Structure 1
Amino acid sequence: MTTTRSFLFLLGSSRTDGNTEELARLAAEQLPPETEQRWLSLNELTLPDFEDLRHEGDGSYRAPTGNAATLLDATLGATDLVLASPLYWYAMSTSTKRYLDHWSGWMRVPGVDFKERMAGRTLWGVTALATADPSVAEPATGTLRTIASYMRMEWGGMLLGLGNRPGDVLNDTAAAIRAKTFFG
């Protein structure tokens, strides 16, 4: 039995159609036509700063509402989660990190079983770098790889592209070649 894949692309850039998004869309073009794709902007679906309540009361959290509920439902509805975040100071964008921080609360919402339900899904990363040295992305890559391991998710990998000014990543021939087989 073949499982239908469903990709959730979470865009963590403050710039619409930036290099990271362009690279993610290039990779997504290679997916089979029947593969479901949902694209959400973390800049448009803003979340409040995460508040750690683990040591208050019974340590559980209330079911999320608003944008947090939308993101939780979309996350749980995907087999493949793609975090497309530009590299800012060797890490993911604030909106991407804030989204991931909310996972801590979602794991503690009674009845959601977030960690258990995320197990077996695949986590991917896409980022644009302003330098040709790919090692500068290792902190962000390591973070996502470790999150995947902790959540018992598969780690799909990190797609890197060189792009500083808008549209630059489209001139990165090596990244374009990698994008064609990234989700393979």
Structure 2
Amino acid sequence: MSRRFLFVLGSARAEGNTELLARRAAEQLPADVEQRWIHLAEQPLPDFVDLRHDSEYVRPPSDTATGRLLDATLAATDIVIASPLYWYSVSSLTKTYLDHWSGWLRTPGADFRAAMAGRTLWGVAALADEEPSVADPYVGTLNNSAAYLKMRFGGVLLGNGSKPGDVLTDTGALTRAKTFFAQDAPLARFPHRTA
């Protein structure tokens, strides 16, 4: 199966530091690797409503934002969450996207859990702090989501930047971006679990 990357951009700002860093990493992908970029701010999702104890889920129509994102997610071999670090985790736009995964797990015909198993989840984030450990909750959110679905987890590419374009001066992040998607991503595991 040829690789198909879905870049889910979770910033409220177009061409922000996170997107710039993600694009630098994506430039290193081979030319035959398909790339699809979706700005969540341009295709806002409705708030997720948990129906699992009240009624059945239905597959969202493909001409809606939710349906387009479900179809794009199912078609991808690699999903890149490109969300800036907001209050130590993913943005609200990104969190809503991940919340919809809960519904997709129960959507007839989507077979979401089986489809995601073995695929790879990646993260890219810009943060305005010199200490990378402040992104631990962000990394945990993505790692645990991948582990729950038996996905591979490629880790999170972090870059420093607050003002527009700042990340382009973070030479360490730009160097890491050159090989970020070239690594073999291991199967995600929940931390602190032995089995």
> What's the TM-score bracket when you normalise by the shorter of the two chains?
over 0.9
Within a 5 Å distance, the mapping from 1:1-184 to structure 2 comes to 3-57=1-55, 60-65=56-61, 66-184=64-182
Q: 2:14 and 2:109 mapped to 1: Cα distance?
A: 35
The ranges of structure 1 where at least 4 consecutive aligned residues each deviate by more than 3 angstroms after the TM superposition are: none
Query: How well do the aligned residues superpose, as a CA RMSD in angstroms?
Result: 0.7
Q: Identity over aligned residues, as a percent?
A: 63
Question: 1:64 offset after TM fit, Å?
Answer: 1.1
Kindly provide the CA deviation profile for residues 42-74 of structure 1, in whole angstroms up to 9, marking residues without a partner as x.
Answer: 0011111100011114xx301113100000000
TM-score by length of 1: 0.96
DSSP 3-state at the match of 1:104:
helix
Q: 2:69 and 2:41 mapped to 1: Cα distance?
A: 12
The answer to whether the 8 Å contact 2:59/2:109 transfers is: no
Q: 2:130 and 2:53 mapped to 1: Cα distance?
A: 44
Q: 2:126 and 2:31 mapped to 1: Cα distance?
A: 25
Equivalent position amino acid for 1:125 in 2: G
Question: 1:150 offset after TM fit, Å?
Answer: 0.3
DSSP 3-state at the match of 2:159:
strand
TM-score by length of 2: 0.91
The answer to whether the 8 Å contact 2:57/2:103 transfers is: yes
Equivalent position amino acid for 1:29 in 2: E
Which consecutive unaligned segments of at least 5 residues does structure 2 have?
A: 183-195
Q: 2:76 and 2:91 mapped to 1: Cα distance?
A: 22
DSSP 3-state at the match of 1:40:
strand
Which consecutive unaligned segments of at least 5 residues does structure 1 have?
A: none
